[in-house]
Amino acid sequence: MTRLSDELRRTFGDIDIYLFDQLLRGRFDERRRVLDAGCGGGRNLPYLFASGFEVFAMDDDEAAVSAVRQMAASLAPGLPLDHVRAASLDAIPWADHSMDVVISSAVLHFARDDRHFRAMVEEMWRVLAPGGLFFARLATSIGLERLLEAPVGRMRLPDGSTRYVVDEKTIIALTGALGGRLIDPLKTTNVQNARAMTTWVMEK
């Protein structure tokens, strides 16, 4: 007997639940060119591949890129090979305004410092078309202020990991500087005071 969870996983993979929420709310209905910037092994891509989206994906890990290409060959055999590339997030290899959606799921916390964080966000914004959707899940200091050495920067978190984190003030200021518009309020999940992950969704 097929389990419901197995059936759901075949359809949606291990998609970020907050990204799934954006799909359910119609945010992808008219936006068909999607870039997963920092795709890893492709956890957010099975449904997009199988549903006819024009998917682009990139990661700086060659093994991850190979895995995503294999996934694409199975689920979207017509997808051009060069839609999945090895590249750094601060040097995205696609043209200005070429994407309807840019996904950045648990990637920005790999920033080395403030400059690198900003460079990655600005590159993703560059390739996003006017009216496009920017979706990011990122590590923040929101709700952890008393436990961290600073609200912004690369630091050791209570869970033992070292990540680059930002605060609400930085996200709001950067949204304004880019000319973006928040289409959802910032939503933060505090994982037992060990780490905090914030969902940042804006329209260009």
Helix (H/G/I), strand (E/B), else coil: 96: coil
Average pLDDT score over the chain:
96
Q: What is the pTM of this model?
A: 0.95
CA dihedral 21, 22, 27, 31 (to 10 degrees): -120
Instruction: Let me know: does 139 contact 167? Beta carbons within 8 Å.
Output: no
pLDDT, tens digit, 9 for 90 and up, residues 10-19: 888 899 999 9
How many domains, in total, are found in the chain?
A: 1
Q: Where are the alpha helices (DSSP H) in 60-201?
A: 62-75, 114-127, 168-178
Look at residue 11 in the predicted model and tell me its pLDDT: 85
**Any idea what the CATH number is for the domain that residue 59 is in?**
3.40.50.150
* AA letter at 204: K
The dihedral built from the CA positions of residue 9, 194, 103 and 42, taken in this order, carries a sign that is: negative
Task: Look up the domain containing 44 and give its range.
Answer: 4-203
- The CA-CA-CA angle for residues 177, 187, 58, to 5°, reads 65
pLDDT, tens digit, 9 for 90 and up, residues 29-56: 999 999 999 999 999 999 999 999 999 9
Span 83-98, mean pLDDT? 97
Span 103-108, mean pLDDT? 97
